[in-house]
Amino acid sequence: MSMNERYEPHSIEARWQERWASAGIFQAGRRPGAEKRYVLEMFPYPSGAMHMGHGRVYTIGDALARYLRMRGYDVLHPIGFDALGLPAENAAIKDGRHPAERTRENIVAFRAEMKSLGYGFDWDREVVTADPEYYRWNQWFFVKMLERGIVYRRQGKANWCTGCQTVIANEQVVDDRCERCESPVVEKVIPEWAFRITAFAQDLLDGLDGLKEWPDRITTMQRNWIGRSEGAEVDFAVQGSGDAIKVFTTRVDTIYGCTYVVLAPEHPLVAKVTAPARKAEVDAFVARMRKTDAAERTGESAPKEGVFTGAHAVNPYTGEAVPVWIANFVLAEYGTGAVMSVPAHDQRDFEFAKKYGLPIRVVIQPSTGDRIPGPDALAAATTEDGVLDASGPFSGLPSAEARRRMSAHAKEKGFGQPTVRWHLRDWGFSRQRYWGTPIPIIYCEEHGAVPVPEKDLPVVLPPQAIITGTGEPPLAKVPEFVNTTCPVCGKPARREVETMDTFVDSSWYYARYLSPKDATRPFDPEAARRWLPVDVYVGGPEHAVMHLLYFRFWHRVMRQLGLVFEDEPARRLVTQGIVNGPDGRKMSKRWGNVVAPGPMVRKYGADTLRLFILFAAPPEKDIDWSDEQVDGLFRFLARVWRIFHARQESFAAPEAALAQASGDFLELRRRTHRTIQRVTDAFEKELKFNTGIAALMELVNALYQLEPRSDADRAAVREALVAVATLLSPFAPHAAEELWHEVLGPAARDRLLAAEPWPAFDPALVAADTVTIAVQVNGKLRGEVQAAISAGEADVRALAEADEKVKTHLAGKTIRKVVFVPKRLVNFVVG
């Protein structure tokens, strides 16, 4: 039987997908004795069809998982759906359909598309967060965390999105607008539930040092977001009153240069300390600031403005009284709502001092030994650390040491203390929306907020809720849901009507995959021992400070609960770039440049799309969709197909003949083994699938150059064909599987390439492919040349004659004879 001449992806892809599935080769746990690898991609939010961003992240993860499986690891590569949350609810409001119904449909479509791309997921472990069997464990974690004080109720100033009609996280506010719907976000004080993530701040920070295989920019963003700053609190006593202004500073080493202090206009002391003569002006300024929003007031470009209160406060280090001002750039809720101003060493203070004619005093000199002449010579503040000057007993100390000593001094004298401050805030997670996990709390008149007992979990979302997107939470309008009895006293009580932030769902799903059907616990800790941490996590860099921080937090909670044992949830993080439209702009309906995976699979087949995604650039780089490149990759696969077809007579070549391969066919063998090495490197080192695919293209080109004539030639060609099919397998698995079966024939009938071992290369064949050849003239060594190992006499002679040293010995002489020993020597006999 001879193979089909044409490459027709649609006639092969579905067939292999079925074979893989029925053989169960993607199920984790098939190789209990082997080392494990857990490859995970961030699970999708199934709103509408798959988009190209999904196509990219799952293709990257799948290529890697397929490779690792062929390397002999026991591979866990699961998938699920992040199905609760606002987008589905907002879509439901728009088209009047229930989010559950819509989500179910989307998942069916999504699953089919993923299967059509040939992704080797362990579908038996699929997790859907909208399933009560999943979110009951969110509720279980809530109760456990409530018991441990990690969950608490607070009166919070919350970001209220006027469009979504709910509280959203700080991280979702961009320029005072909602990241999702772009409506204005306003501040609202409401009771809310929060996770005490700040209790883990130091551990989350320390853990970043161990994440050596995460991109630096992600760990840097987390470090900044956690935002630890060491500093000191110092009290400035207000003259003529018993009050003190508490300031926080990270630069207590500059305090001898403090020439004024500034309160936020909202600071409670403002009214108290303002001198009667200054009252009218101060009140007017405060009133104006109340009306201006915080971002506008404190923005980089906002002009610095303020007014003097008429009061003075005493710098406890110098005993000097300095004026007390209020200014737009200090906010009551940040730090202590008061700052000490050191114009010589802080640029904002410098500009303010210049504007209002306040004194400037230099107290830090460069550690280089240069001296700043005086404040008048300063064009800007000098903000670097240095050596203290004009700083009383601390003069001469380097900044870092001075900070330690000076904050200790404040503590000793009772006017301050060393302090650590964090940018990180607790995670307020209650939402006034429907499509989320119900918070398992019952409010009793007598007993207050009582957690739902474990045996009564899950608290299921009532399907009959009316979702309008406005007014009180939808659950409040479902009496059958709201009205219940108190678990303590049995009297009538009301259920919490708020639901959890969707980021709760994605904080621990990677662990639920370990035993997704477990009805007695969130997951099996023994499975966690086997599979965690995730070895490679693939997803978008936009999750740097939300999901990727939350799941590190949740992992720590699970460790406290004895469920997991590793420090961190994921060892290596791969952040993939964006797939832009053909015009280089972000794909958007607005630009009409959206290309979706589904239609591309129908047009070209899955393998071409996968190759395009992997070949266009390394995973972390952005790529632009290109019809030409996609066509080119389809043609490449067709070209691969044709060379297999054209070399069918090699399929039966005896392997024993390989050792006799010589000349161009020995060179082909070397190229085959070097290609194995290059493709292996593309997986083992930095992920550079593009260079691996490029190496395969070169090998295919080389095959086109050769016409095998002997058994030895054909054996070398067969070896190359088997390598091409095998190495292509993680990238274009369907074509690879088909071609491999063509070459191997009946010997492979019951085998699958996707479960075969990854090929090893022969180091001898990969070794440097050039040799050093000695050049003699009349038997005397006159030089040497580097030549290809397969180079013939003509090539070597030409190289030798071009050598400068050899040239001088040949000049003016007649070459009578040339003796050539391949790979060793060339001797010119001259007279």
178 near Zn ion, judged by CB under 5 A: yes
777 near Zn ion, judged by CB under 5 A: no
From 237, 378, 476, 488, residue interacting with Zn ion (rule: CB under 5 A): 488
Residue 436 CB, shortest distance to Zn ion, in Å, is 15
Which region among 114-122, 171-179, 356-364, 792-800 touches Zn ion (by CB under 5 A)? 171-179
Residues 362-381 that bind Zn ion (CB under 5 A): none
Tokens representing residue 578 in the block: 């964006």
Residue 488 CB, shortest distance to Zn ion, in Å, is 4
Phi, psi of 515 (to 5 degrees): -150, 75
Per-residue burial over 330-349, b if 16 or more Cβ lie within 10 Å, else e, is bbbeebbbbbbbbbbbbebb
- Tell me the residue length of the chain: 831
Instruction: Give the residue with the Cβ less far from Zn ion, 446 or 583.
Output: 446
444 near Zn ion, judged by CB under 5 A: yes
Chain Cα centroid distance, residue 234: 40
From 21, 23, 143, 181, residue interacting with Zn ion (rule: CB under 5 A): 181
Q: Which residues pair with residue 494 across a beta bridge?
A: 443, 483
Which region among 63-71, 174-182, 353-361, 430-438 touches Zn ion (by CB under 5 A)? 174-182
442 near Zn ion, judged by CB under 5 A: no
DSSP 613-635: HHHSS-TTS-EE--HHHHHHHHH
Instruction: Give the residue with the Cβ less far from Zn ion, 181 or 397.
Output: 181
Instruction: Give the residue with the Cβ less far from Zn ion, 489 or 821.
Output: 489
Which region among 87-95, 155-163, 506-514, 755-763 touches Zn ion (by CB under 5 A)? 155-163
Instruction: Give the residue with the Cβ less far from Zn ion, 181 or 294.
Output: 181
86 near Zn ion, judged by CB under 5 A: no
Which region among 23-31, 179-187, 576-584, 698-706 touches Zn ion (by CB under 5 A)? 179-187
163 near Zn ion, judged by CB under 5 A: yes
Calpha distance 198→203 (Å, rounded): 10
487 near Zn ion, judged by CB under 5 A: no
Locus of tokens 């909208």: 130
Instruction: Give the residue with the Cβ less far from Zn ion, 492 or 745.
Output: 492
Tokens representing residue 635 in the block: 């043609």
Instruction: Give the residue with the Cβ less far from Zn ion, 36 or 180.
Output: 180
Residue 451 CB, shortest distance to Zn ion, in Å, is 12
**Packing angle of the helix pair 216-226, 547-560 (nearest 10 deg):** 70
Q: Which residues pair with residue 81 across a beta bridge?
A: 128
Locus of tokens 């972000």: 586
**R_g (Cα) of the chain, nearest Å:** 35
Instruction: Give the residue with the Cβ less far from Zn ion, 444 or 587.
Output: 444
| Nearby residues of 25 by Cβ (< 8 Å), 6 or more positions away | 69, 120, 752, 754, 755
From 108, 186, 189, 489, residue interacting with Zn ion (rule: CB under 5 A): 489
Phi, psi of 128 (to 5 degrees): -120, 120
Instruction: Give the residue with the Cβ less far from Zn ion, 164 or 282.
Output: 164
287 near Zn ion, judged by CB under 5 A: no
DSSP 259-278: -EEEE-TT-THHHHH--GGG
Instruction: Give the residue with the Cβ less far from Zn ion, 40 or 444.
Output: 444
446 near Zn ion, judged by CB under 5 A: yes
Phi, psi of 374 (to 5 degrees): 180, 165
Query: Residue ranges of the alpha helices (H) in 446-519?
Result: 479-482, 509-512
Contact 646, 638 (CB under 8 A): no
Applying CB under 5 A, what is the total number of residues that bind Zn ion? 13
From 111, 177, 447, 645, residue interacting with Zn ion (rule: CB under 5 A): 447
Per-residue burial over 143-161, b if 16 or more Cβ lie within 10 Å, else e, is bbbbeeebbeeeebebbbb
164 near Zn ion, judged by CB under 5 A: yes
Residue 86 CB, shortest distance to Zn ion, in Å, is 8
From 486, 653, 668, 799, residue interacting with Zn ion (rule: CB under 5 A): 486
From 28, 50, 158, 161, residue interacting with Zn ion (rule: CB under 5 A): 161
207 near Zn ion, judged by CB under 5 A: no
For Zn ion, the binding residues (CB under 5 A) are 161, 163-164, 178, 180-181, 183, 444, 446-447, 486, 488-489
